[in-house]
Amino acid sequence: MLQGMIGKKIGMTQVFDENSILVVATMIQAGPCYVVSKKTDEKDGYQAVQLGFEELKPQRVTKPMSGVFKKAKTPPLRYLREFNANIDEYNAGDVVKADIFEQGEVLDVTGISKGKGFAGTMKRFNFAGQPDSHGGMAHRRPGSIGQASYPARVWKGFKMPGRMGGEKVTVRGLQVLELDPDNNIVIVKGSVPGPNGGTVILKRSTKGGKSLA
């Protein structure tokens, strides 16, 4: 069984569940993905299937990679990712679609969060800020960041202003509310990291979660 695939975030929507309760959801285009290669115990020391997603123009691919795609009998692809699977069930050139998932299944979705540029501590870490009245003049400043003569330095990893967003984020335990295999659409409960059109990785959850059943 293939443990996951590559997809693209379409956007957020709303879905009524079986109890007629409006639920916030995210639409994801899951595939179609192509099997580019297989990793075997004899050659690589582990078993996995390498999937490719989003077709490219041939002139946008390097010659070594064009040879890889030609050998696999697939079109040039932008994204490549390995997933655990029973390699006997797949061959190079096979097409993987959204029907590998089922309604009610629990997924972990990984994406790159929206970049927000340089941000202060109040926006970046939800600091409360300092007094706005009685002569206070450090309203949005973080305050003291260190000690006195010992250790006389700022601890590594201290929460301070800096670049916010643009990081790899995984949201676990998202239930599959609806599935449209014909159009490779998966609708999951809740939000998914990244902007609309951003690439995401869908994997069967390893932490478990509540099933819709």
**Residue ranges covered by each domain of the chain:** 1-31+99-130+163-213, 33-96
Q: How sure is the predictor about 213, in pLDDT bands with cuts at 50, 70 and 90? A: very low
The whole-number average pLDDT for the span 108-129 is 95
Backbone angles phi, psi at 63, to 5 degrees: -60, -40
Q: Which two tokens stand for residue 2?
A: 């293939």
Q: Which two tokens stand for residue 83?
A: 């997933």
Give all strands (DSSP E) within the chain, no chain letters.
4-16, 22-30, 33-39, 48-55, 77-83, 95-96, 106-112, 117-119, 162-164, 168-180, 185-189, 199-204
Q: Which CATH number among 2.40.50.100, 3.40.50.1000, 3.40.640.10, 2.40.30.10 corresponds to the domain 1-31+99-130+163-213?
A: 2.40.30.10
pLDDT of amino acid 49: 92
The whole-number average pLDDT for the span 21-41 is 92
- What is this structure's pTM? 0.83
CATH number, domain 33-96: 3.30.160.810
Q: How sure is the predictor about 208, in pLDDT bands with cuts at 50, 70 and 90? A: low
Q: How sure is the predictor about 152, in pLDDT bands with cuts at 50, 70 and 90? A: confident
